[in-house]
Amino acid sequence: MLTRDKIEALAPDKSSLDAAHKLVKPTGWPLLAGDAQKTLVWGECQGSGATPYRVNVSLADVGYKCSCPSRKFPCKHVLAILLINIDHPVRFTQAEPPDWVRDWLARRRKTTSAAPRSSTDSPANPEASPVAEAEKVAEAGRPPDPAKLEAQRKRQREAREAKIADGLDELDQWLHDQLKAGLGDFAQASADRCRTAARRLADAQAPGLASFIDQIPGDLMKLRPEQRADFIVEQLGLAHLMAQAYRKQADLPETLRQDIRRAIGWSLKRDEVLADPSAPRSTGRWVVVGTRSILQADALRRIETWLTRTDGDEAGRFASLIDFVPASMGNTGSTFYAGEEIEAQVAYYPSAMPLRAVLADHKPTGTRATPLNQNRSLTGALDHWDDVLAAQPFVPEWPLGMTNVFIVPASDGLAIGDPNGSAILPLADAQEESVSPLLGLTDLDAIGLWNGHKFTLMLAETPIGRWVGP
């Protein structure tokens, strides 16, 4: 029996599922019907053209056909009619299948000896529905054919690679259009311009790059007007660099190739990282530096948890835990809180500069008093940032930890400085009020995120106690 979870699992990506939810309105379906046995549904969905798209689905094996030109399988129309069948079954009129549905059924029966169990007519696979075939194999008590499963996965990867390539071509054109129009008014129009480009990249199954583009307007508005021109050029150049690096990934070292694939939006499952014997690991005491929740263009919420190691030879090492949840779940946050201490083993994703990680195991320590043990000076932290950019030139930000620093007034706000006056990091404008109580305190250990322009302070050890960012 089909359930909402099974329907959502059929979706090729999150954007298709979101689009399907928008199509369930009655006004978009001039025809919805099903057979008396409730094994078949069909309908007509009004698109942008004069002729509605014709959709039919066999509920017995989730075989389907849609007349739309989408290259996603199943398309949003198929997902929508399945959702309507689950949530609003009364909208389906009981009827005999029309000619176009019967023709489809007849062609399906030619490929199987057991009607109505059959296959999908999608262009991606005109002979067999992977869901239906898997169900039939399970019912027969036979294990799935590894060769067929691998062939199916290969086709899916190739289809996604093609979509990403098209998305990168569109990004090239978008970047060209911005430069051709001039960047003088980009800041004022950046929200609409970037949202449009981000949505196209999300549709092209490049959610990482989509999120990067979608964040530009917000980050831009956090800067002072005189800083924005350089930031725009830098961010658009970084987007171009990411696109070019992805196209030439075969020429990159393996760890850097993994970095750019994740930056574009390919994922590596948690279990795969944990099962990889070559994955770098670090076991010891960690402090949660801070957390962050970001709404992405692909309707997912990105939840970040930043950790720093506080003991042993690896004291000062960082790890970033990243989870994704549907935006519909609301402003969901991390299960950890800033300042919390845990005993944990961290396993890192393959990377030229390992940072993103998963927890192999962990337990709370019940304390919040362990020193942060940062061992870099401010200039040493900035030297480390240079090393990061040399290894991963497309990284947008990086955690920096430093010792023996203090908060100082600057010409345009507050900043972090060192006793020698050799370096200074301007703090994010939004932090001026929350950080101002630290003015006058010296010999701080400070940890935060640096993007090359502003430093966001997340955690600080002071002579009078620990400061935790809001």
Q: Which tens digits make up the pLDDT trace of 58-78?
A: 887 788 888 887 777 788 999
Give the residue among 405, 427, 401, 430 at the shortest CA–CA distance from 414: 427
Among 99, 120, 142, the domain-final residue is 142
- How far apart (Å, rounded) are the C-alpha atoms in residues 348 and 221? 33
Which of the listed residues 251, 286, 309 is the one where a domain comes to its end? Answer: 251
Lookup: tokens for 98: 């029309």
What's the full length of the chain, in residues? 470
Collect contacts of 318-322 with beta carbons under 8 A, ≥24 apart: 318/289, 318/355, 318/399, 318/401, 319/282, 319/286, 319/346, 319/348, 319/355, 319/356, 319/357, 320/355, 320/356, 320/357, 320/399, 321/356, 321/357, 321/358, 321/359, 322/356
The pTM for the full model equals 0.67
Average pLDDT, the chain: 86
29 and 138 in one domain? Answer: yes
Tell whether 195 and 231 lie within a shared domain: yes
Give a yes or no: residue 419 inside a domain: yes
Position 139 scores a pLDDT of: 45
Q: Are strands 31-34 and 93-94 parallel, antiparallel or unpaired?
A: parallel
pLDDT mean over 228-241: 94
Residue 263 lies in a domain: no
Q: Is the pLDDT of residue 362 over 70?
A: yes
Which residue did the predictor score with more confidence, 105 or 306?
Answer: 306
Could you read off the pLDDT of 378-419 as tens digits, one per residue? 999 999 999 999 999 989 899 999 999 999 988 778 999 998
pLDDT tens per residue across span 130-185: 444 444 444 445 566 788 888 888 888 898 999 999 999 999 999 999 999 889 88
How much is the pLDDT for 111? Answer: 43
Question: Alpha carbon of 300 to those of 104, 191, 202, 366: distances in Å?
Answer: 36, 18, 11, 32
Within a domain: 201: yes
Asked whether 320 and 356 are in contact (CB, 8 A), the reply is: yes
Interstrand relation of 413-417 and 398-410 (parallel, antiparallel or unpaired): antiparallel
Cβ partners under 8 Å of residue 413, min gap 6: 426, 427, 429, 432
* 454-468 pLDDT per residue, tens: 999 999 999 888 899
Using CB atoms within 10 A of its CB, is residue 321 exposed (0-12), middle (13-18) or buried (19+)?
buried
- 260 domain residue, yes or no: no
Question: ∠ CA(113), CA(118), CA(123), 5° rounding?
Answer: 130
Look at residue 407 and tell me if it is in a domain.
Answer: yes
**Does the bond joining 280 to the residue before it have cis omega, within 30 degrees of 0?**
no
Regarding whether 190 and 111 lie in a shared domain, the answer is no
- Determine the pLDDT at residue 109: 64
* Domain contains 300: yes
Q: What is the pLDDT of residue 41?
A: 94
Domain co-membership, 319 together with 353: yes
Does 403 lie in the same domain as 344? Answer: no
> Cβ distance 422 to 196 under 8 Å?
no
pLDDT of residue 400: 96
At 367, the pLDDT band (50, 70, 90 cuts) reads confident
What pLDDT, in 10s, does the model give residues 327-349? 776 667 788 888 899 999 999 99
Question: Is 379 in a helix, a strand, or coil?
Answer: helix
Q: What percent of the chain has pLDDT over 70?
A: 91
Residue 83 lies in a domain: yes
Q: Which of 191, 192, 199 is nearest to 170 (CA)?
A: 199
Do residues 186 and 211 both lie within one domain?
A: yes
Instruction: Clarify whether residues 42 and 84 are in a common domain.
Output: yes
206, 264 in Cβ contact below 8 A? yes
Task: Look at residues 447, 414, 408 and name the one whose alpha carbon lies nearest to residue 430.
Answer: 414
Residue 267 pLDDT more than 80? yes
Question: Which tens digits make up the pLDDT trace of 435-459?
Answer: 999 998 999 999 999 998 899 999 9
- Strand 398-410 versus strand 356-364 pairing type: unpaired
Residue 372 lies in a domain: no
> Among 82, 107, 142, which residue terminates a domain?
142
Strand extents, DSSP E, 46-168: 53-58, 63-66, 93-94
The yes-or-no verdict on residue 209 having pLDDT over 60 is yes
Q: How many domains does the chain have?
A: 4
**Is-contact 73 124, C-beta < 8 A?**
yes
> 3-state DSSP helix/strand/coil percent for the chain, to nearest 5?
40, 25, 35
Average pLDDT of 238-250?
96
Q: Are residues 9 and 131 in the same domain?
A: yes
| pLDDT-derived band at 283, boundaries 50, 70, 90 | very high
Is 448:457 a contact under the CB 8 Å cutoff?
yes
Are residues 334 and 412 located together in one domain of the fold? no
pLDDT bin (cut points 50, 70, 90) of residue 116 is: very low
Mean of the pLDDT values across residues 100-108? 82
Q: 15-66, pLDDT tens digit by residue?
A: 888 889 999 998 889 999 999 888 899 999 988 777 889 999 988 778 888 8
Kindly state whether residues 340 and 393 are assigned to the same domain. Answer: no
Distance from C-alpha of 63 to C-alpha of 60, rounded to nearest angstrom? 8
Containing domain of residue 342, as a range?
268-364
Q: Which helix H or strand E contains 288, and what residues bound it?
A: strand 281-295
CATH of the domain at 297: 2.40.50
pLDDT at 141: 54
- What pLDDT is attached to residue 465? 87
pLDDT of 297 reads: 66
Tell me: do 91 and 167 sit in the same domain: no
pLDDT for the residue 411: 79
Q: Is it the case that residue 118 has pLDDT exceeding 60?
A: no
Instruction: In whole angstroms, give the CA distance from residue 419 to residue 406.
Output: 8
Shared domain for 87 and 178, answered yes or no, is no
